[in-house]
Amino acid sequence: MQHDTELALQLRKLKLSGILDTLELRILESQTNQLDYKTFLSLLLQDELEARQTRKIQKLIKKARFGLEQTLENFDFSLAPHLNKTLIRELATATFVRRAEGVILVGPPGTGKTHLARALGHQACRKQYTVLFYKFHDLFSDIAKAQLMGTTEPLLKKIIACDLLIIDDFAFKKIDQHSAEVLYTIVDQRYGVKALILTSNRDMRDWMNVFPDPVIAGAILDRLAHQAHQIQLKGESVRKKLAKMKKENPLKSC
């Protein structure tokens, strides 16, 4: 028993919690199946690697600041039958992140744009890419706060450097000249180097109206549209559909 305690302490000191968590099970498995030492050690090391990978992914998801845990696993494709599932499955591989491509999700409120954006962000985290999720207005709010605190440069560096930047509710409301210039800096420095996902309730043709300067607007929108997978979401609000289903079948939703 003392040896077990000492071993546990040693594993903790070496930060091998993955091995510690499965050690008893692996010992039992080794005895039952008469595993040789090499196989036994290999299994323990695999447990440690898997545990570290899981922790890393959890940290990436936490740092992404998704808010709600919306993934492809809990996205109801039956409520969006028009969606190109083949394209969604392709995007879920996160190949577009490696290729520094864009994804633009446009459609009426409640059609699943934000859920899909978060879900693709989760997939990117699982592939161990760094992700940042921002609401359009929160992006400029955070930048304004950083200016007051004198931390604008490190914040912009973090936004520009992440592998995948997600901006939800893009072009939600008009922005001032300074915000437009900051957005241009972000988009320009990420262009062709880092991936981007945008969601918007507005048609892309209406995005120009959000910017005070048509020249900057043109430069930003041209970069956003280039090499971007454009997905149009249609139909009634998913939230309204679910509310209607619960109202019609109150017992089923319990």
When pLDDT is averaged across residues 184-190 and rounded to a whole number, the result is 98
Upper half-sphere CA count for residue 178 (Cβ side, 13 Å):
5
Q: What is the pLDDT of residues 49-83, one digit of tens each?
A: 999 999 999 999 999 999 999 999 999 998 888 89
pLDDT recorded at residue 4: 74
Which residue from 79, 73, 66 is spatially nearest to 92, judged by alpha carbons? 73
Gap between the Cα atoms of 183 and 198, Å rounded: 13
User: Any idea which of 3-12, 71-80, 182-191 has the lowest mean pLDDT?
Assistant: 3-12
What homologous superfamily is domain 65-240 in, according to CATH?
P-loop containing nucleotide triphosphate hydrolases (3.40.50.300)
Rounded-to-integer distance, Cα 234 and Cα 254, Å? 28
Question: For residue range 218-247, what is the model confidence (pLDDT) as tens digits?
Answer: 999 999 999 899 999 987 666 666 666 566
Which amino acid, 51? A
- Residues with Cβ within 8 Å of residue 165, at least 6 apart in sequence: 131, 132, 134, 159, 186, 190, 194, 195, 196, 197
C-alpha distances (whole Å) from 33 to each of 19, 27, 146 are: 19, 10, 59
The predicted structure's pLDDT at residue 83 = 92
Are 181 and 148 spatial neighbours (Cβ–Cβ below 8 Å)? no
CA atoms within a 13 Å half-sphere pointing along the CA-CB vector of 16? 17
Q: Let me know: does 80 contact 235? Beta carbons within 8 Å.
A: yes
Q: What residues does each domain of the chain span? A: 2-63, 65-240
The Cα–Cα gap between 175 and 54 comes to 39
Name every residue whose Cβ is closer than 8 Å to that of residue 31 and which is 6 or more positions away in sequence.
Answer: none
Q: List the one residue out of 141, 61, 72 whose CA is nearest residue 112.
A: 72
Query: Does 3 have pLDDT greater than 70?
Result: no
The pTM of this model reads 0.86
